[in-house]
Structure 1
Amino acid sequence: MKIVVGITGASGLPLSSRLIDVLRQNSNIHVHVVASEGALLVAREEPCTYPDLKPCDLVKYIKSMGVGIDVSLSSMYASSSNVPDKVVIVPASMKSVASISLGLANTLPTRVALNALRMGRELVLVPRETPLGSIELGHLYKLSTLGVKIVPPIPAFYPNPSSILDIIDFIVGKILDVMKIDHNLYKRYKH
């Protein structure tokens, strides 16, 4: 299975890096990353991963994980002839959400997402903004009616998280849940 992880210019890079790390451990999954210029800027200001808590050169960091990364619209993934099985954009900035909703392929991640929609592939968005206004909710609703899975990065406390990594793993686990990929990143609720 081929999965493309898109990273856009919103806070939440530890979610991206943890998801990539978990996916690449599955021998049945080929992972590739596409990023926007905004993502590269955010990486200079916030940690790429936890617990490092250091800003990073996003391209070098992803490559150090043994995963390919593209930022140019000339990437093979910009073409609908190379659409992966699944696309997940984490974090998805509201600019990217709006662009996808309006059909604007102005960055590589939005282009890959639109190709996935056109070709009937699975698309998951992890929107990173709060609070959400009517305009943002309208775009998210429109995308959900097109079959896009929306996974807001909202933590749960029933698993009794003891660290930031536990919270990250819960959110990444929920992303994997909607992608129908088995994992054991968090304790499931039992009554």
Structure 2
Amino acid sequence: MRIIVGITGASGAIYGIRMLEALNDAGFEVHLILSSWAEKTIAIETDYKIEEIRSLATRVYSASNQAAIISSGSFNTDGMIIAPCSMKSLAAISQGYADNLISRAADVVLKERRKLVLIPRETPLNAIHLENMLRLSQLGATILPPIPAFYNHPKTVTDIVNHTVSRTLDQFGIDNSLTKRWLQRETGG
């Protein structure tokens, strides 16, 4: 598989990093776009070094490189994940405002009818956020907020992050064991 991963400056950079680790472990070809704010957020929120994160991708692009191969529909991919997806990026994608490589690559994925999964990070959501998410959902994108599940009894933040990463990989049909799956339980009723 060939997947594009975009990491924006929204809080929750660990979702994108963990996604890269999982895709790298699975041996996929990963094309990474880091926004300048993503690099700042990574430094604030994690102990990861930018070069360490870059090393998890097959190719890395500057968000200002609109001439990158992934900005063309003629470059075949299996889709794109934006984790985390800022509301600014979500709005740009929703409106077709391809002002950087993250929003351009997402625009290409949509126009080519490929899989686009957005992990939006914002709370509370206002009507503009919700309208942009609805618009993108109607255009074929999957909106996958990083909402933890508790049926799997998470013990650590990593467990919570892995659940979202697992659910995202499921969207691409990528088998994984990052989280405990739901098992039917008798409730006695």
- What TM-score, normalized to structure 2? 0.90
The size of the alignment, in residue pairs, is 182
Once residues 94 and 144 of structure 2 are traced to their aligned partners in structure 1, the CA distance between those partners, rounded to angstroms, is 16
SS of the equivalent of 1:91 reads: strand
Partners of 1:55 and 1:184 in 2: how far apart? Answer: 23
Which residue of the partner structure matches residue 8 of structure 1?
8
CA distance in 2, matches of 1:124, 1:15: 13
Q: Distance in 1 between matches of 2:178 and 2:17?
A: 14
- Identical residues among aligned pairs (%): 40
Deviation for aligned residue 1:44: 2.7
What is the root-mean-square deviation in Å for CA atoms of aligned residues? 1.4
Structure 1 stretch displaced more, 100-109 or 80-89: 80-89
| C-alpha distance 39-83 of structure 1, shift in aligned 2 (>3 A) | farther
Q: Which residue of 2 aligns with 1:39?
A: 38
**Deviation (angstroms), 1:41:** 2.4
- The separation in 2 between residues aligned to 1:137 and 1:63, in whole angstroms, is 32
Identify which of 61, 64, 73 aligns with 1:80. Answer: 73
Which digits, 9 at most, give the CA deviation of each residue in 1:3-29, with x for residues without a partner? Answer: 0111111011111111111111223x2
Match of 2:84, SS state, is strand
The answer for the alignment partner of 1:68 in structure 2 is 59
Task: Provide the residue aligned with 1:24 in structure 2.
Answer: 24
- Superimposed CA distance per residue, residues 83-106 of structure 1 (whole angstroms, 9 cap, x where no aligned partner): 421111100000000000000011
Partners of 1:110 and 1:45 in 2: CA distance: 24
1:95 pairs, out of 85, 88, 100, with: 88
Q: Which has the larger radius of gyration?
A: 2
Query: SS at 2:74's partner residue?
Result: helix
Could you list the runs of 5+ residues in structure 2 that have no partner in the other structure? Answer: none
What residue in structure 2 maps to residue 139 of structure 1?
A: 132
The answer (yes or no) to whether the contact 1:94–1:129 under 8 Å persists in 2 is yes
Cα deviation, 1:147-171, whole Å, max 9, x if unaligned, reads: 1011000111111111111111111
- TM-score when scaled to structure 1? 0.89
- Specify the alignment match of 1:50 in structure 2: none
Q: Which residue of 2 aligns with 1:123?
A: 116
Q: Distance in 2 between matches of 1:42 and 1:107?
A: 18
- 5+ long unaligned stretches in structure 1: 48-53
What is the CA distance between 1:67 and its match in structure 2?
A: 3.5
